[in-house]
Structure 1
């Protein structure tokens, strides 16, 4: 019995499945071991209805539904059943909703939720009154500070504004995020906002800072390599845009000079007679002859 118990514990640890029985455990087994996502959704529903680990069941179900391109259904599920979840889970449910809104293209709803979460931070109501919270990514836990969370939310808000082509609003938000905690991706996106406003020199300055920070020995390990590659590519695009802009400017100046020459050239004198008299004149001349 002892050996079997150890093997069972090892199985649950390896597959990240909770021990015990019930619809939630069955749903996790279907999700992680059998890889039957559709069936796992049914069992997550069952777990919610039977009040079996509702917090986890609702969040896990929403994640699986997103993977199955059922983002809108997941949104409705969270809205309908979040009142059954503890206060401790509400923040993570909000984050899930923001991701789901992004997935199904509901940008306006995403903006509303992001502003709401930023307002909560401003009022001191985020993280249940604490300065840090425990987050999870790819199965690993880590601590997130209020400062980091604010910069993250501002970055997401900036991205949402970019989807609406509201580059002035996105620029303001990204600048604020960069003041709080510089981030390579946010720096690149700020550069894109400036490019779309035709402010190439400012964009070049911002993106150059991202590249320089990426190559500095003090921060190289902290910079996302993909973001650094994106910054270098963006820098090349900016230089090309500056060249094209300069070429267009010069062509425009040459065109204006040409127009000035044309306007200054003397215009041939024209007869003041109406066209009908111009047509009659030759006949008059012939008759006179």
Structure 2
């Protein structure tokens, strides 16, 4: 066999199995992960690649993902915290995204919220995507461009969901409303409806839901989204007593939004003082919080 033919076969092998070229510790780890399908052995080899300084950015991210798949999310969190200082500045944003997923899987909601707020702060200062207006992302093997606007809405959606897991439906409502202003979609609209229902504000929930059922939002044509919206509508129609109480008690809306202004914004201001002691300006994502009280009182 000629050397040229051998090189072509090797290149084809790497392409088929989506392996990086070469025979370094990281490449061997990927080979075990993707070809031999042995995640535990791959994790050991990823550790070796990190310790050898071989493609540390990729090795740490890949190892954390494999650990999550193996229900070793807590270990993955500790690994990222221990070794992220060895990674490049360009890798930090991806590591944060992996950490957020790991926190979610482990039920570490407080840490998830904290990191999501840090990412919003990074966007606020123009530091997201390493200062670029877009970034290249992957999904199911395909590349696509993500804008800062889309990323902001995505982070807000995750933040709203985290607040919902805490039972903090006021905070979740505010976040979802802002997310919908930036980049509306059906999923966030349904979550906003859920937040409003939990606060017995059924009239507002129905108003939000109408946009979904009338096909006004991106994703309205998705059968699963429509089924979810119809289930929420049934929940609204079945809650007649609470629904009537909401319509007859406008003071409930003022009281709820007042609590939001007093408690949530106070907590946010405290958080911002920790990050920027001499800056009084609020994050743009929360600039409209105070206006919600006036809107709801009308």
TM-score by length of 2: 0.77
Q: 1:58, CA displacement in angstroms?
A: 0.2
1:187–1:206: 8 Å Cα contact kept in structure 2? yes
Alignment correspondent of 1:109? 111
Structure with bigger RCO (C-alpha 8 Å, 6+ apart):
2
* TM-aligned CA distance change 1:56 to 1:224, over 3 Å: farther
What residue number does 2:196 align with?
A: 194
2:97 maps to what in 1?
95
Equivalenced residue count is 244
Q: 1:159-170 alignment to 2 at 5 Å?
A: 159-170=161-172
Offset, 1:229: 2.4
- Is the contact made by 2:213 and 2:229 (CA closer than 8 Å) also made in structure 1? yes
Q: What SS does structure 2 have at the residue aligned with 1:135?
A: strand
Which residue in the other structure is 2:291 paired with? none
Give the CA deviation at 1:150.
Answer: 0.5
Larger Rg: 1
Listed one character per residue, the Cα deviations across residues 103-159 of structure 1 (whole Å, up to 9, x for unaligned) are 100000000000000011111111111111111222221110010000000000000
1:238 shift after superposition: 1.8
Asked if residue 53 in structure 1 is aligned to residue 51 in structure 2, the reply is: no
Q: List gaps (5 residues or longer) in structure 1.
A: 250-289
The aligned runs of 1:180-219 (5 Å cut-off) are 180-213=182-215, 219=218
Q: Which residue of 2 aligns with 1:84?
A: 86
Is 1:208–1:235's contact at 8 Å kept on the other side of the alignment? no
Residue matched to 1:118: 120
- CA–CA distance in structure 2, aligned partners of residues 115 and 228 of structure 1: 31
Report what 1:275 is aligned to: none
- Within 2, Cα distance between the matches of 1:245 and 1:126? 43
1:67 aligns with 2:65: no
Deviations, residues 253-273 of structure 1 (Å, cap 9, x unaligned): xxxxxxxxxxxxxxxxxxxxx
Distance in 2 separating the partners of 1:246 and 1:25:
60
Counterpart Cα distance in 1 of 2:237 and 2:226: 17
Residues in 2 aligned to 1:75 and 1:246: alpha-carbon distance in whole angstroms: 43
**Matched position secondary structure for 2:239:** helix
Alpha carbons 2:189, 2:212 under 8 Å: kept: yes
Q: State the distance in 1 between where 2:49 and 2:194 align.
A: 45
Q: Is the 8 A contact 1:136 1:142 kept in 2?
A: yes
Work out which of the residue numbers 136, 158, 162 in structure 2 matches 1:156.
158
Q: CA offsets, 1:86-112, max 9 Å, x none? A: 111110001111111001000000000
- Cα pair distance change 1:52/1:188, threshold 3 Å: same
2:103 and 2:111 in contact (8 A); partners too = yes
Q: CA RMSD in A?
A: 1.9
Name whichever of 176-185 and 8-17 sits farther off: 8-17
Task: Return the match for 1:35 from 28, 37, 42.
Answer: 37
- Cα distance, 1:160–1:13 mapped onto 2, change above 3 Å: same
Contact 2:200 2:243 in 1 (8 A): no
Tell me what 1:6 maps to: 8
Deviations 1:28-77 (A, max 9, x none): 11111111101100000000000111000000000000001111110110
Q: Secondary structure at the match of 1:20?
A: coil
Dislocated runs of 4+, deviation >3 Å: 222-225, 244-249
Q: Is the 8 A contact 1:184 1:223 kept in 2?
A: no
Structure 2: stretches of 5+ with no match in the other structure: 247-298
SS of equivalent to 1:124: coil
Distance change in 2, residues 1:248/1:213 (3 Å): closer
Question: Is the counterpart of residue 237 in structure 1 residue 235 in structure 2?
Answer: yes
Tell me the residue number matched to 1:143: 145
Deviation at 1:225, TM superposition (A): 4.0
